[in-house]
A and B are shown apart, each in its own frame.
Chain A
Amino acid sequence: MAKSQHPTPMLDELEKGPWPSFISGFKRLRDEHPSENINKVANSLLGQLEHSYETRKGYWKGGTVSVFGYGGGIIPRFSEVGEAFPESKEFHTLRVQPTPGNYYTTDMLNQLADSWEKYGSGLITFHGQTGNIMFIGADTENTQHFFDEINDYGWDLGGAGPCVRTAMSCVGAARCEQSCANEHAIQRYLVNEFVDDVHRPALPYKFKFKISGCPNDCQNAIERSDFAVIGTWRDDMKIKQEEVKNYMNTKGRQYIMDNVVSRCPTSCMTLNDDDTLNVDNSNCVRCMHCINVMPKALSPGDDKGVTVLIGGKRTLKIGDLMGTVILPFKKLETEDDYEELVELAGDTIDFFAENALEHERTGEMIERIGLVNFLEGIGVDVDPNMVSTPRQCSYVRMDGWDEEAAAWFEKKAEQAAG
């Protein structure tokens, strides 16, 4: 145990109340862990954090730390108040890529904890906002040792800095009836194609993949990733009329009218006189609401695939952006299908690497150069699904109209010919 404990009157307040307390966890490491080093580091960390609470300021600075052979994957942290709190003055985080859907056996989790207490602080977050396991708190030397150990049993670093980042996906087909895709395969096909771009930051800025199995987008892909892959379907949704009646019997007709029929954003549902449900599938936008309300009665169709949206990001620098539809529908059944998806991602990253300004995200680049220039750059044809409405202002030069219109009809004819 550390000789003298830093007093933590403010942090002690965070041990009160019914929600599990992270501060109590830090104190267990300080007081109960058999490693004297971990005791000291936890004490020092608590001291610095209390200092932050007192002064309302952070005291960590970045720097340059990585492991041999990589350029990223570590969040370096050096304390600005290391003299007062020396045992945690180097407190780097290792970002480690979890599996799609964040699965662990308890044995594996224990093994990771065993490795981490040999080299690190004993604190782990499952998971950070970018999707990584965050092993918080190792000094520079032990960063390498810890990585070497866990890398030997199957774990690799994620992205940090201007690079392809660790990807994330929802629980998906492993435990959700609404999944329209194999999120697991999509995530690994995509991110593992770009391991070099994950480990050696050389892009203008970060590039994130996120995958959701259905338009509920539990993974928050449209808002939080540069390249969002969302499961969907294009044939008719499935209706079990008997189950519709069961809902009606339990919940009442009014409930179905108020919560299913009238909530449809495109008014494509009607209730027949015999209490069966009718859906105008050609106007269904696959929003998922009715399926969420009646999961036993309604489900996605069989002709499943994905929609790809590009350019989502958070506030810095031009304000938050949602992703934009780039690929309205793509089947993902064969090896070739997956390879075409990976190719689209590769073309996007190449174009981004060549054309984005320093520290500009993909969505910001598209905002600056216009969607059409981006589409031409990656070789994707325009599609009316990419816009909410067509252009509203006449101030545009359109002397290429005839060629563009001819190209549209030619494409339509090709599609009709199959």
Chain B
Amino acid sequence: MAMADMREPIESGCPDGFQYMHPAMRKNFGMWDYHEDPQPGVLKHVSKTGDVVYTVKAGTQRILDVFTIRKLTKIGDEFADGYIRFTIRSNIEYIVTDEAKVQPLIKALEDEGFVVGGTRNSVAMISHTQGWLHCDIPGTDASGVVKSMMDELIDEFKQWNMPNRVHITTSCCQINCGGQGDIAINIQHTKPPKISHDLVANVCERPTVVARCPVAAIRPAVVNGKPSLEVDEKKCICCGACFPPCPPMQINDPEHSKLAIWVGGNHSNARSKPSFQKLVAAGVPNNPPRWPEATGIVKRILKEYKAGAKDWERINDWIDRIGWPRFFEVTGLPFTKYHIDNWRGARNSLNASTHIRF
């Protein structure tokens, strides 16, 4: 097509949401008074105007085919005035003003296989990334790990059994796109990249790759008469940062790319300041199609959290109270030299006191 025929884009940016918002939300915008939790998966919000809305929240497979989208919109037309929204963790929410519609709406969702829940002190939907389905650097799949885990955790999604909410995340590389979670299941590479030296000169901008390494372990080299890159394998931390700008430096390894499990990431300011997740387990097999070993460890942590934490304690609050030695004791996870941080700021994580629980 000639340039002259091309259509100029309309740079409209982020669209106005009020046009798609349920009229009761538009009317009561900024005027809400309080909320109640009538049952798992249902919120009741009461406005200062006296208006009341009920929200029904449901988990889906997140990657939706058009058939599933039409199922969800049909339910919205039938029970929720034709309005929906999605939460940050990819749950769908229907807003209704008529209390009598709540139970039929729940039934319609459950009849179609969707899972109503994910509110208050439940295990929320696992937030996840693209993985093998669509990412260019993934060490594992994301949707498959999440499907396998949610199959096992579904009752915790549907009920209020946890001391406080539990956010689980997954990431398919060590960039950690999945973010911080009460529990995070992330890829952890254990071997340096395998370099296809014949390809490096043509594919990679070498100074960029050298600059990308967090520990300065990469340097230019001539290999087999061609310009390439070499890695100081004693320095290499196997993070995979060189792989995106230089695909011939393959970091993903079917055997040696493992999963690591981290706990205590919490983005809320409630009680303590926001916190980062901490390493608890590594060397977990990256084992498709169901990743049973990772799910087993997650369930073990959840079991102890549920048994040991007080009401309203998130996982980080619980461990702050009982201490890390007890966390490793009750979960039965090994404490190794790899748990002791040596990254920048590591001294702040050492115990410079006699505060020890016996």
Contact = CB atoms under 8 A, between A and B. Distances in A.
A25 B68 contact: yes
A353 interface: no
Given A25-B63, A106-B82, A156-B10, A318 B214 contact: yes
A28 interface: yes
A116 B345 CA distance: 48
A129 B178 contact: yes
A113 interface: yes
B345 to A, nearest CB: 8
Given A215-B268, A215-B270, A358-B211, A295 B35 contact: yes
A14 B147 contact: yes
A184 B18 contact: yes
A409 interface: no
Nearest to B84: A104
B284 interface: no
Given A17-B151, A109-B73, A67 B271 contact: no
B276 interface: yes
Interface in A171-199: 171, 173-177, 179, 182, 184, 187-188, 191-192, 195-196, 198-199
B335 interface: no
A113 B212 contact: no
A67 B314 CA distance: 45
Contacts of B95: 175
A98 B177 CA distance: 19
A88 to B, nearest CB: 10
A322 B268 CA distance: 12
A168 B179 CA distance: 15
A314 B177 contact: yes
B232 to A, nearest CB: 17
Contact of B8 (A69, A117, A173, A177): A69
Contacts of B272: 265
Nearest to A307: B269
Nearest to A183: B17
B148 A58 contact: no
A387 B239 CA distance: 31
A109 B70 CA distance: 8
Interface string A335-373: 000000000000000000000011100000000000000
12 contacts: A20-B113, A25-B67, A49-B141, A58-B137, A58-B252, A99-B17, A104-B83, A104-B84, A128-B130, A259-B310, A315-B176, A319-B343
A97 B252 CA distance: 31
Nearest to A26: B65
Contacts of A124: 63-64, 66, 69
B132 A52 contact: yes
Contact of B32 (A18, A177, A217): A177
B15 A156 contact: yes
Interface in B85-115: 85-88, 90, 92, 95, 113-115
A272 B130 CA distance: 53
Contact of A18 (B84, B115, B274): B115
A45 to B, nearest CB: 8
B337 interface: no
A31 to B, nearest CB: 11
A37 B257 CA distance: 36
Interface string B119-157: 000000001011111111111110110011011101000
Contacts of B84: 103-106, 109
A184 B63 CA distance: 26
A288 B314 CA distance: 14
B55 A175 contact: yes
A379 B175 CA distance: 32
B270 A289 contact: yes
A269 interface: no
B12 A156 contact: yes
A316 B241 contact: yes
Interface residues of A, number: 130
Which of A59, A103, A316 has the most chain B CB atoms closer than 10 A to its own CB?
A: A103
Contact of A171 (B9, B85, B152): B85
A102 interface: yes
Interface stretch (B221-229, B285-293, B301-309, B326-334): B285-293
A22 B267 contact: no
A351 B104 CA distance: 54
Which of A107, A126, A196 has the most chain B CB atoms closer than 10 A to its own CB?
A: A126
A255 B310 CA distance: 11
Contact of B212 (A199, A220, A359): A359
Interface stretch (A147-155, A274-282, A326-334, A398-406): A147-155
The interface size bin for chain B is: 35 or more
B33 interface: yes
B20 A99 contact: yes
B151 A195 contact: no
A123 interface: yes
A411 interface: no
A113 B66 contact: yes
Interface in A58-89: 58-62, 67-70, 75, 77
A402 B88 CA distance: 49
Given A101-B85, A217-B268, A317-B241, A129 B179 contact: yes
Interface in B42-99: 45, 53, 55, 59-70, 72-74, 76-77, 82-88, 90, 92, 95
Contact of B270 (A28, A57, A220, A292): A292
Nearest to A194: B13
Contacts of A56: 140, 252, 254-255, 257, 286, 288
Given A57-B254, A99-B17, A220-B180, 14 more contacts: A25-B67, A67-B9, A69-B8, A102-B86, A103-B17, A103-B83, A174-B26, A177-B35, A179-B30, A188-B14, A192-B13, A216-B269, A289-B270, A289-B312
Given A154-B12, A188-B14, A316-B175, A220 B88 contact: yes
A222 B274 contact: yes
Nearest to B245: A359
Contacts of A117: 66
Nearest to B46: A177
A320 interface: yes
A412 interface: no
A125 B66 contact: no
A258 interface: yes
Contact of B65 (A28, A62, A106, A263): A28
Contacts of B132: 49, 52-53, 57-59
B66 A317 contact: no
Nearest to B186: A315
Nearest to B133: A49
Contacts of B35: 176-177, 295
B177 A100 contact: no
A110 B310 CA distance: 45
A244 interface: no
B150 to A, nearest CB: 4
Contacts of A292: 270, 312
Contacts of A316: 174-175, 214, 239, 241
